[in-house]
Amino acid sequence: MKVVNAVFPEPPQIAEFFGAPEDGPFVMVNLLKFHDKAQYPDGSDSDLSGKEAYARYGEAVRKLVEGLGGRIRYSGTVTGLLLGEIEEPWDAVALAEYPSLAAFQAMAMSPEMHAIEHHRKAGLAGQLNIRTRPGPGF
């Protein structure tokens, strides 16, 4: 299995993701890898870690998610690997629940998201976003 962290999706990934049929609420699994130091293009806040820069984004995006009827279900630091093998572990995991694909797309394309994504870019070395659909009983 090939695993490639990225900060932004490629256009074909975007088209495929948002072209999927609407099937209701979902949880996005975010596997996050941070820069050691924040990387703002203007060199500002060079004393921040990537994790701290991303936390600025995380707090603002939590409000956006909640504003569209979703919620952050979990956020935590990766502390170990029990099963499998990866070259380098992710630094953190976050689970965000969205009411629909349309709501997620509206948030992703919003001016509010655009206004905070510089913190995400400054903090992240890369990530995986995995869309999941709830199983029976959830």
**pLDDT surpasses 90 at 114:** yes
Q: Nearest-CA neighbor of 74 among 88, 83, 62, 63? A: 62
For residue 1, pLDDT beyond 80: no
Q: Tell me the pLDDT tens digit for each residue of 80-106.
A: 999 999 989 999 999 999 999 999 999
How many angstroms separate the CA atoms of 12 and 60, rounded? 27
Beta bridge partners of 28: 96, 131
Say if residue 3's pLDDT is above 90: no
User: Is the pLDDT score of 138 beyond 80?
Assistant: no
The mean of the pLDDT values for the chain is 94
| 11-132 has CATH 2.60.40.420 classification | no
State the pLDDT confidence band at 112, using cuts at 50, 70 and 90.
Answer: very high
pLDDT, one tens digit per residue, over 19-73 is 999 999 999 999 999 999 999 999 999 899 999 999 999 999 999 999 999 999 9
Q: Which segments within the chain are labelled E, that is strand?
A: 26-34, 71-77, 92-98, 124-132
